[in-house]
Structure 1
Amino acid sequence: MTLDLLPPSITGEYLALQNINLYAKPDSEELATQMAKGRQLKVISNSTVEGSIEICLCEDSYTAWLSLKDLPLLKPAEKKYIAQPISREKIEALIPQIIEFTYQAMNTPNYYLWGGTVAPNYDCSGLIQSAFASVGIWLPRDSYQQENFVTKIDRETLKTGDLIFFGTNRVTHVALYLGDNKYIHSSGKEIGNNGIKINVLRDDEDQVSRNYYQQYWSCGRVTESFVKQL
């Protein structure tokens, strides 16, 4: 039983003592996301599968697999996680800090990491989620989830701090709009920069900008923080 391997928690939740990798499958082969130090989780099932347990992160309700070897990196959470609502007005005031987070991430040596949500290596939605979380605003984990979460806007009304989504058959990439047709994002090797860089929402600039312009999907504005309760 999983709970026998963990100290009892009066809240039913556990706190990360350091950054922890979480996986898409119980075999711990494919990174799904990362649990930054200080985040909280709940165990979904008492049963173990291939040396892992299924968990749900409290801040974004994201489910993944935690290796049993990482259980010592958890401690019982003294307080339940309670999502804090935030107004659009407050979000607007925090946009400069969110952008500064991405600049600092870009200026630190990094590469694109599928599933990465902690410094220095991020995937696209991991960078966006972490940048907003750095000022207390939570977004869903994956790019398509973020696209469903934000308030849809026309491209002509893009403002600094809005999100731009890319994809072909569905949303597979997200970037943060900086103004003046520029955006910052973490992109992979195949059509991107293999890390965090600034590109332009035009098809007559550099090759990476052209690649993503051809996959432009939609734009959205963050008007609230994720507040779904477990």
Structure 2
Amino acid sequence: MAAGAPAAPEWLIAGTNWQLTGSVDLYSQARGEGLASQAWTGRHLQILTSPAATGPGMRLRVRLLDDGYPGFLEPDSLLGRAVACSPPQPQLLQRCSIVQRMEQVLSFAQAAQRVANTYLWGGSLGPNYDCSGLMQRAYASAGIWIPRDAYLQERFCQPVAVQPGQVQLLEPGDLIFFGTPQRCSHVGLHLGGGRYLHSSGVAHGRNGIGIDDLAPQNPDPVARHYRLELRGAGRVMHSHNGSPLPT
């Protein structure tokens, strides 16, 4: 057990805050399968429900304090992986500071591509990522927090006009969003000139991290699939303040 943490299960008290000393998995529901995200060493979380309130075999409901993301956690996954802490103070970065850190964001994402990987729904630890998990982790590597999921990232960003073959307004580090007219379901990181890096699955992607572009003449089936699902692009103007996220 981590130094300073009382014995389980008494220390798993609703309302308490913890900093991770090891990585943990977050699930989308109290029981069963369904990885929602992963949290790495140094992240902060708050317990929302105690074991006494959940019942035997039920996961704890928690919220990650760095980005406001909710999920469910196996109670014993915090043993030896968390220390009690105060809530973290939000780092209120503005666009000028983000621009200065963009090289680190891009470098992290490109380094992740060079490591053998496959697509993992909910993956944000590496080497296996989902699309939005890779975006969040790349930005977090530079101390910039953005929301966890692609549709939340789209809402968080300042919109930037983009169409296939018309990418002049995009800057390196902008996020490019894909999906249906009703909902964003995929995101990539703009590298420059309409080229973007993203982690895509088996059905329409490469089962891992690759680079595509928005050029209309690109016949590659992966590039074509996402080009036809282009929704728009966005620019990260500030860092997330850790407040709870809308559903």
The 3-state SS of whatever aligns with 2:72 is: strand
What is the aligned partner in structure 2 of residue 185 from structure 1?
198
Query: Which one of the candidate residues 73, 87, 109 is aligned to 1:80?
Result: 87
The 3-state SS of whatever aligns with 1:137 is: coil
What is the aligned partner in structure 1 of residue 222 from structure 2?
208
What is the aligned partner in structure 1 of residue 27 from structure 2?
23
| Gap runs ≥5 in structure 1 | none
Which residue identity lines up with residue 90 of structure 1 in the other structure? S
What is the aligned partner in structure 1 of residue 4 from structure 2?
none
CA distance in 2, matches of 1:73, 1:207: 46
Equivalences for residues 16-95 of structure 1 within 5 A: 16-46=20-50, 47-49=53-55, 50-95=57-102
CA distance in 2, matches of 1:34, 1:48: 21
CA distance in 1, matches of 2:188, 2:10: 38
What is the aligned partner in structure 1 of residue 212 from structure 2?
199
Q: How many Å apart are 1:12 and its aligned residue?
A: 2.3
CA distance in 1, matches of 2:223, 2:211: 9
Q: How many Å apart are 1:8 and its aligned residue?
A: 7.3
What is the aligned partner in structure 2 of residue 114 from structure 1?
121
* Residues 83 and 229 in structure 1, CA contact (< 8 A), matched pair in contact too: no
Q: Which runs of 4+ in 1 moved over 4 A?
A: none
CA distance in 2, matches of 1:37, 1:228: 17
Q: In the alignment, does 2:246 pair up with 1:226?
A: no
* Residues 23 and 65 in structure 1, CA contact (< 8 A), matched pair in contact too: yes
What is the aligned partner in structure 2 of residue 163 from structure 1?
175
| Gap runs ≥5 in structure 2 | 1-6, 163-167
What TM-score does the superposition give when structure 2 sets the normalisation length?
A: 0.87
The 3-state SS of whatever aligns with 2:186 is: strand
Q: How many Å apart are 1:208 and its aligned residue?
A: 0.5
Q: How many Å apart are 1:204 and its aligned residue?
A: 2.5
The 3-state SS of whatever aligns with 1:117 is: coil
Q: How many Å apart are 1:73 and its aligned residue?
A: 3.9
CA distance in 1, matches of 2:157, 2:85: 32
> Matched residues, percent identical?
37
The 3-state SS of whatever aligns with 1:97 is: helix
The 3-state SS of whatever aligns with 1:82 is: coil
* Residues 40 and 77 in structure 1, CA contact (< 8 A), matched pair in contact too: no
Q: How many Å apart are 1:100 and its aligned residue?
A: 0.5
Which residue identity lines up with residue 161 of structure 2 in the other structure? D
CA distance in 2, matches of 1:223, 1:42: 26
Which residue identity lines up with residue 178 of structure 2 in the other structure? F
Deviates more, 1:196-205 or 1:182-191: 196-205
Query: Which one of the candidate residues 145, 160, 170 is aligned to 1:153?
Result: 160
Q: How many Å apart are 1:119 and its aligned residue?
A: 1.3
Change (3 A) 1:193 1:75: same
Structure that is richer in strand per residue: 1
CA distance in 2, matches of 1:119, 1:4: 29
* Residues 203 and 214 in structure 1, CA contact (< 8 A), matched pair in contact too: no
RMSD between aligned residues: 1.8
